[in-house]
Amino acid sequence: MRSVLLLVSLVAMALVAGAGASIPTLPDGFTLPPTNLPTTDPVAPTSSVAPIVTASGNQLQLVSTQLVPSVLMRGDRGTLVIEVANTGTAPVRISQATLTADGAVTVEDDPYRTVGLIGAGNRMSFTYSVRAGSPDGIAYPVFSLMVPDGRGLRVPVPIRVDSTGPVVSFIERPDVFTPGRSDLVVLSIGNPRQSTLNGVMVTPRGTGFTTKPSSVFIGELPRNGQSRAGFNLTPDENATLGFDLVYYNGQNRHVLPIALPVEYGKSKQRAELLLSNFVLEQTGGVYRLTGDINNAGLRPARSVVIAPGPEVEPADPYPRYVIGSLEPDDFASFELNFRAADGGPVPLVISYKDENGDAFEEHARATTQINQTGRGGSASPGEPVPLAWIVLGLVLVAGVGYLIVRSWRQ
C-alpha cells in the first residue's frame, strides 16, 4: 500500500514539476498548491492533489486556496483561505503555520503561531489577510506548516495583482452645453478585468447643475461586461461637471473620477428660428404685422409663440401668435397686431421649447421705418426713380419742347 502511495506521489510530483516549468521563479523543493492561478470567476476553484508524505509518515495535503477577491488591485486587501487536510491515519501536530510575503503582496497578520493537532482525515483552514502593493504581476507568498520533526509543508500561493480599472466612455453628450437647458449624457462602463466588480454606481459630482436621476446604480458588473448610465444634466453658468464611478473589488471600495469638460455655447443642432417676409399695414392706429417664421436649425421647436416686445402695446385680434411645433426646415406664417408710439423698429420676442421642455427665447426686430415704402416690395424714399419714369420724363420734355417750338414757327 505504501509503495502504491509513493508511486502516486512520484507521478504527482512529476506532474507538478511539469506545471512548475511555466513558473521560473519557483523555489527549489517547493510544491505547487492544488489551485491554478485564478483567471476566472468565481474565484479559486477547490481541487485536490496527491498527499504529501511527511517525515513522520503522516500525510498532509493542501486541499485548496481561495483568494477573495480573486484578483487584487493595487492597495486592495484580500482574504486568502488555505485549507489543509490530514489524509493519514494518525493525527499530525502542527507547531506553526505561516504565510511569508512575496513581491507586491504583503501579509498583514500572523494568527497561527500555535496550531495544534490535525486529526486523521480532518481538514483545517488557515485564513490570512493580504494586501497588494506594486507593481502589478503575480506574487508567490509561501505558506508553511511547521511540524516537530523539522519537515514542513511549504507551498507558494500565487496571487495576481492587476490594477486595471473599469473603462468609462461618453457615448452620448452634447457638443456644447447651454445654461438652463438639460442635455442627455450617457456613460458606458466596461469591465476589462478578469474578476467581477460589485456595487458599481455612477454619481454626478460638481457644482452649479441639476441632474436627473441623481445617481445610477448598476450593481454587479461581470468580467468583460458593459453597462450604461444616462443622466439629464442641466448646468447653470460656470458649472463644473463630472462623475464618480464607485465600485467594489471584494471588500475594497474604489472611486474613479470622470471629468466632463463643459463648453458653453449654442448647440449646433439647436432649433434656429428666423423671421422674414415682413409686411406691415396700419389701420385705425393699429399695426398689423405679418411674416414668416422659419426653423433653420436641426432640432424641432415646440410651443413656438411670437409676441411684440415690451416696448410695444399688443392689440387685438392677435396680441400674440401661437405657431405650435415647427420642424426643421419648416416654416409658418404669423400675424401680430400692436400699437406703436412711433414708426421705429418693432421688437419681437420668439419663445419656444425643446424636446426636454426647456424654454428658450429669441429676439428679433421688424423694421418699420417711418419713411419705408413697399413699392414692388423693395423701394423706399431716396431710392432712384425707376428708369421707366425717367424715360417718360425725357420723352415729355422733348415732346412738350417740340410742340412749343413748333407753335412759334408757325
Partner 1 sequence: MSDVSILTLLTNPRRFFESLEERPVSLLRPALFVIVAAFISALSAYQISSLVATMMPELQGMGPLLGGIGAFSAFVMVLLMWVIYTAIFFAISMVFRGQGTFGRLLSYVGYGFLPQAIGGLISFALSWDLLSNLRVPSITDPTMIAEWTQSLMKDPTMRLASGISLLFILWSANIWIFGVRTGRRLSTRDAVITVGLPTLLFIVYSIVTMVL
Say whether residue 319 binds partner 1 (CB under 8 A): no
- In whole angstroms, the minimum distance from the beta carbon of 279 to partner 1 comes to 9
Return the residue of 282, 296, 311, 355 that touches partner 1, per CB under 8 A: 282
Tell me which of 159, 280, 326, 348 binds partner 1, using CB under 8 A: 280
Sign of CA dihedral 30, 51, 111, 141: positive
When asked if residue 317 is in the footprint of partner 1 (CB under 8 A), the reply is no
Query: Which residue, 1 or 403, is less far from partner 1 as judged by CB?
Result: 403
Size of the site for partner 1 (CB under 8 A): 39
* Minimum gap (Å) between residue 365 Cβ and partner 1: 15
Of the candidate residues 236, 281, 313, 335, the single one contacting partner 1 (CB under 8 A): 281
Minimum gap (Å) between residue 290 Cβ and partner 1: 12
* Binds partner 1 (CB under 8 A): choice among 177, 287, 321, 352: 287
d(CA 209, CA 242): 11
CB under 8 A: which stretch of 8-16, 64-72, 151-159, 333-341 binds partner 1?
333-341
Decide: 212 and 231 in contact? Cβ < 8 Å.
Answer: yes
Site map (CB under 8 A) of partner 1, residues 354-393, x = contact: --------------x-xxxxxxx--x-xxxxxx--xx-xx
User: To the nearest whole angstrom, how small is the minimum distance from the Cβ of residue 373 to partner 1?
Assistant: 5
What is the rounded radius of gyration, in angstroms, for the C-alpha atoms of the chain?
43
Q: What's the full length of the chain, in residues?
A: 410
> Which of 123, 97, 94 is closest to 110 using CA atoms?
97
CB of 283 to partner 1, least distance (A): 8
Q: Which stretch binds partner 1 (CB under 8 A): 37-45, 232-240, 276-284, 314-322?
A: 276-284
Between residues 208 and 343, which has the closer beta carbon with respect to partner 1?
Answer: 343
User: Burial level of 367, CB count in 10 A (0-12/13-18/19+)?
Assistant: exposed
Does position 55 interact with partner 1 (CB under 8 A)? The reply is no
Which stretch in 164-172, 204-212, 325-333, 338-346 sits in contact with partner 1 by CB under 8 A? 338-346
Residue 303 CB, shortest distance to partner 1, in Å, is: 31
Q: Whole-angstrom Cα distance, residue 410 to residue 403? A: 11
In DSSP terms, which residues pair with 301 in a beta bridge?
A: 326
User: Which residue in 285, 317, 363, 387 binds partner 1 (CB under 8 A)?
Assistant: 285
Contact 43, 66 (CB under 8 A): yes
Q: How does strand 226-249 pair with strand 197-212? A: antiparallel
Listed ranges 157-165, 169-177, 278-286, 327-335: which one lies at the site for partner 1 (CB under 8 A): 278-286
Q: What is the DSSP string of 190-205?
A: E--SSS-EEEEEEEEE
User: In which region does residue 188 sit, left (phi positive, over 0), alpha (psi from -120 to 50) or beta (all else)?
Assistant: beta
Q: Does 284 bind partner 1 (CB under 8 A)?
A: yes
Is residue 344 exposed (0-12), middle (13-18) or buried (19+ Cβ within 10 Å)? middle
The whole-angstrom separation of Cα 385 and Cα 316 is 38
CA distances from 298 to 140, 175, 270 (A): 61, 14, 6
The answer to whether residue 403 forms part of the interface with partner 1 (CB under 8 A) is: yes
| Residues engaged in binding partner 1 (CB under 8 A) | 280-285, 287, 339-343, 368, 370-376, 379, 381-386, 389-390, 392-393, 396-397, 400, 403-404, 406-407, 410
